[in-house]
Amino acid sequence: MLFESLKNSGGFKGEIKTDNPTLIKYSRDASIFEVKPACVVFPKDVEDVKKLIKFVSENKSQNPELSITARAAGTDMSGGAINDSIIADFTAHFNRIIRIGTDTEQKNTDRAGYAVVEPGVFYRDFEKEALTKNLLLPCFTASKSLNTLGGMAANNSAGEKSLFYGQTKDYVEELNVVLSDGNEYVFKELGNAELEQKLRIPGFEGEIYRKLFRLIKDNYVAINKAKPTTTKNAAGYLLWEVWNKLTFNLAKLIVGSQGTLGLITKIKFELVRPKPESQLLVIFLKDLSSLGNVVHTVAEHKPESFESFDDHTFKLAVRFLPDMIKRMKGNLIILGLKFFPELWMALTGGVPKLILIAEFTGDSQAEVNKKILEVEAEVREKFNLKTHIAKTADEAEKYWTIRRESFNLLRQHTHGLSTAPFIDDIIVHPDQLPVFLPELNAIFKKYPSLTYTIAGHAGDANFHIIPLMDLSQKSQRDIIPELANEVYSLVLKYKGSITAEHNDGLIRSPYLKKMYGREVTDLFAQVKQIFDPKNIFNPHKKVGASLEYSLSHIKKTL
């Protein structure tokens, strides 16, 4: 009856579903968790989003469990897109590419172009349209064929080109957000004079600016001291990004906040112009002893992408070769022949422990060739490693497909076991790899029953570790907090971040105090209180998280 009143008296135009198949579908994302919602709604427009928020706000006192979690593609690996109350799906109606423009239209020489989109737009659709204008949003993820632009903004996502281009936060110019008062606001970079105007306006918007500015100003040293020094970070609220004493930008705070501060309704992105030529250098490591030094050597030559995948991932690709070939969408015979070297490696036992793939780009093929030959020669001379230069784009795509599709292959082909991404996004500093990796391996030796794959962004020292587990067994579930605590302690020992690009959600929010300490996490709690005093947006994430709550919602069936 409660949700019917949203439609009948609340004037909500979109669909409202409470049937069991829908609720079961939305009880999971790509994480290890399962939380069954009470209702799934599909807002049609901004007015619907406003009505939804006002409905929850007005009924919260009589129904304390009421809340809203925004959801798009459901590819979140942290449990950030699930909730036991209302799920708001933005893919059904908030899926317009409103505009893609060039720098000449904006008279802005600092960027190649821009895009205005709604949060439910799938990246794959956006990329196709942007590339027709020779433009690119370069912070795309490995799951770019599946995820949405709203999810990228909510998580501060990153991917294979982030070594060179940075994270999503670096490309969000402007956000339209509906806040807890049920009104839509635009957040963007403000100069000091514009900030002074915001600080003087009445109402909820002015209150947010006044309280946030005071909080950041009074705690400026502590906030900036807490900023991770790794190349990427998606943990906590990015308070250090908001004010640099010259500009003030609340869009930087909303990015990465996982829908805990408001609901994004529109995004304006900066776009870049991709380099026209590229080539891939593949490096095969028989062991990990030289990894740190190899990464350092290659990184000095400024690759645009520098990725890795391990022997488990390699064998997985060979084992499910037909699926891998299908994902490349071409002639099956020709593509099958392209994988022959990998198949032969697997058959003869010559599988390397780790494969590094470094992409170099430039304005001409001659420029790229010169660069990649220099790097290859240095790697061979210093480390005596086997290397290979991919001669064609199709050949390069083979390696990218293995890197990008390993997680999906695991999810689809592991009968009786679940992919368990709970230590899937750690990051340290690249120069620490020679000492960090042996200690990480020592931790995993304590758990010989675990099968896992390691892939990730070698150039950033950002690794995605995905164990395979039988989550129906309590003994397996009990490993999760124990192993996570050990791995996160090691990461923080080396001043890293517990999440570079996948964000906190249910899995890492309970560890934020371990990473940042009480003083900074208390500031996070104040931020949440300023934006969302009734706690109506995506509870149990970022603030108010409980390890017990998270562990109690680990899925026990496939």
Q: Is 478 helix (H, G, I), strand (E, B) or coil?
A: helix
Listed as ranges, residues in the chain with pLDDT below 70 are 104-110, 320-321, 324-349, 406-407, 409-415
Radius of gyration of the chain (CA): 23
Instruction: DSSP letter for 137, please.
Output: -
Which residue in 458, 530, 534 sits closest to 500, CA to CA?
Answer: 458
What pLDDT does 344 receive?
A: 55
CATH number of 97-189+224-271: 3.30.465.10
Neighbouring residues of 339: CB distance < 8 A, sequence distance ≥ 6? 318, 321, 324, 325, 398
The per-residue pLDDT for 305 is: 96
Pair of tokens at residue 314? 């390699």
Task: Please report the pLDDT score of residue 271 as a whole number.
Answer: 97
CATH 3.40.50.620 correct for 2-89: no
What predicted TM-score, i.e. pTM, was given to this entire model?
A: 0.93
The pLDDT value given to residue 333? 44
Angle formed at CA 225 by CA 221 and CA 226, multiple of 5 degrees: 120
CATH architecture of 275-413: 2-Layer Sandwich (3.30)
Instruction: Indicate if the alpha-carbon torsion angle 254, 258, 260, 266 is positive or negative.
Output: positive
Tokens of 448: 């010989």
**DSSP H or E run through 194:** helix 192-200
Q: Check residue 441 and give its pLDDT.
A: 87
pLDDT of amino acid 341: 61
> Among residues 157, 180, 226, 150, which one has the least CA distance to residue 533?
180
Name the residue ranges covered by the structural domains of the chain: 2-89, 97-189+224-271, 275-413, 505-552
Q: Do the Cβ atoms of 305 and 140 come closer than 8 Å?
A: no
> Residue 272's closest CA among 359, 122, 146, 170?
170
Gap between the Cα atoms of 176 and 266, Å rounded: 5
